[in-house]
């Protein structure tokens, strides 16, 4: 499942809006994120996606790397990009690492991640764009607004990894 850990990304836009939860209006934001990552991310969406887009390079460079079977050459260089991927991932914890970290980080829970676009690049990297739907506090909105069009460090933790982290923390506290 798709995840990021302390990834360098760009916060390209923050869209503020209100959602109706029952009879209450709740502050919501759409965070538009762009990041350039390894093409290994494609396998997190579908096991065959990386091999569908990439093949082994014909040059000797692959032999110089530790991973001789690494797929770095675009298989279909004439394919129009970006590619859109229809997925709505729910229950994510989103952390924008801010300031000195820890308590100053902006952490939002129960986020939805969707609107994926992949721009596959020769050499084995992928520019991925996506939207995070979150419900930050007013203070967090102010901080996020100041980061528009800036580089950020972001972590996206899927629900099953959150459970594992909580269990590890409980074990450490009990020891």
Q: Give 13's strand partners.
A: 32
- Please report, for the chain, how many H helices and E strands are present, in that order: 4, 9
CA gap 173, 7 in Å, rounded: 28
Residues in a beta bridge with 27: 18
Place of tokens 């409980």: 170
Model pLDDT, residue 172: 72
- What was the pLDDT predicted at 136? 94
Rounded-to-integer distance, Cα 16 and Cα 27, Å: 7
How do the domains of the chain map onto residue ranges?
A: 4-174
What's the pLDDT at 57? 84
Q: So what's the pLDDT on residue 108? A: 96
- pLDDT on residue 62: 46
Sign of CA dihedral 32, 36, 40, 42: positive
Sequence-separated (6 or more) residues with CB below 8 Å from residue 126? 36, 37, 38, 39, 41, 42, 118, 119, 120
Q: What is the pLDDT of residue 47?
A: 93
Please tell me the predicted confidence (pLDDT) of residue 94.
Answer: 97
Torsion of the alpha carbons at 94, 109, 116 and 75, rounded to the nearest 10: 50
- Cα dist from 91 to 57, 94, 112, 132, 150, whole Å: 38, 10, 6, 11, 26
Low-confidence ranges of the chain (pLDDT < 50): 62
């Amino acid at each position: 499942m798709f995840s990021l850990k302390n990834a360098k990304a760009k916060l390209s836009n923050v869209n503020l809006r209100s959602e109706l939860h029952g009879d209450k209006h709740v502050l919501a934001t759409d965070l538009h994120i762009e990041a350039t990552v390894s093409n290994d991310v494609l396998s997190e969406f579908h096991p065959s996606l990386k091999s569908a887009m990439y093949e082994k390079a014909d040059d000797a460079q692959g032999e110089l790397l530790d991973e001789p079977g690494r797929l770095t050459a675009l298989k279909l260089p004439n394919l129009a990009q970006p590619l859109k991927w229809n997925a709505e991932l729910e229950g994510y914890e989103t952390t924008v690492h801010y300031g000195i970290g820890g308590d100053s980080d902006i952490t939002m829970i129960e986020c939805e991640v969707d609107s994926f676009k992949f721009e596959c690049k020769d050499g084995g990297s992928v520019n991925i764009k996506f939207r995070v739907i979150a419900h930050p506090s007013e203070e967090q909105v102010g901080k996020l607004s100041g980061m528009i069009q800036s580089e950020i460090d972001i972590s996206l933790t899927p629900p099953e990894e959150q459970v594992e982290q909580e269990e590890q923390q409980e074990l450490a506290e009990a020891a």
